[in-house]
Every structure is written in C-alpha cells, then in structure tokens.
Amino acid sequence: MVETSDIVALDCEMVGMGPFGTENGLARCSIVDYYGNVVYDQFIRPEGVITAFRTSVSGVRPVDIEGAMPFRVAREQVRGITNQ
C-alpha cells in the first residue's frame, strides 16, 4: 500500500541551450508533497551556456540563475527526496 508520505509531484522549468536554444537545460525544480506543501523549490544553473531563457514560458530570468545552485548539487538533492 502506498502511503501519502511517499507521494510527491515534481515540476521542472527549462531554458534553451546550444547555438539555437533548442537543447533543454534544467533551470528550476519544484517538488510538492501529497498535500501541496512545497518540499523543494530551487533555481538551478544548468551545465553549459544558456542561449534562450524562455522567460515568457519558464518564468526564469537571467537574475534567477546568477546565484543558482549547480546542476550536480541539485540532482543529488532531488534524488534524496524522490528515492526515500
């Protein structure tokens, strides 16, 4: 039986990378629990050069990435939350 404490929802916002901004790079990750409480919400600095912020869709602005967490750190944090 699945417990409500084991259920989370995850949403990611992507920015464009590469010469034409067609490659996706993770720029924000949000996780909520079964009841909608925020468990994790971080801006993330993707590995590579951002060429399109897609702000109208992603909501991510250049200023949000300036002090953002490195992708490798965020990946480990998200793994810790989702692998419980």
4-82: CATH number: 3.30.420.10
Give the Cβ contact number of residue 39 at 10 Å: 14
Q: Other C-beta atoms within 10 Å of 17: how many?
A: 20
Q: What are phi and psi of 5, to 5 degrees?
A: -70, -15
In the chain, where the domains are located: 4-82
pLDDT digits 0-9 by tens, 65-81:
999 999 999 999 999 99
Each residue of 2-51: pLDDT tens digit?
899 899 999 999 999 999 999 999 999 999 999 999 999 999 999 999 99
Tell me what pLDDT residue 83 has. 86
Concatenating the DSSP letter of every residue in 49-80 gives -EEE--HHHH---HHHHHTPEEHHHHHHHHHH
Helices (H), 35-70: 55-58, 62-66
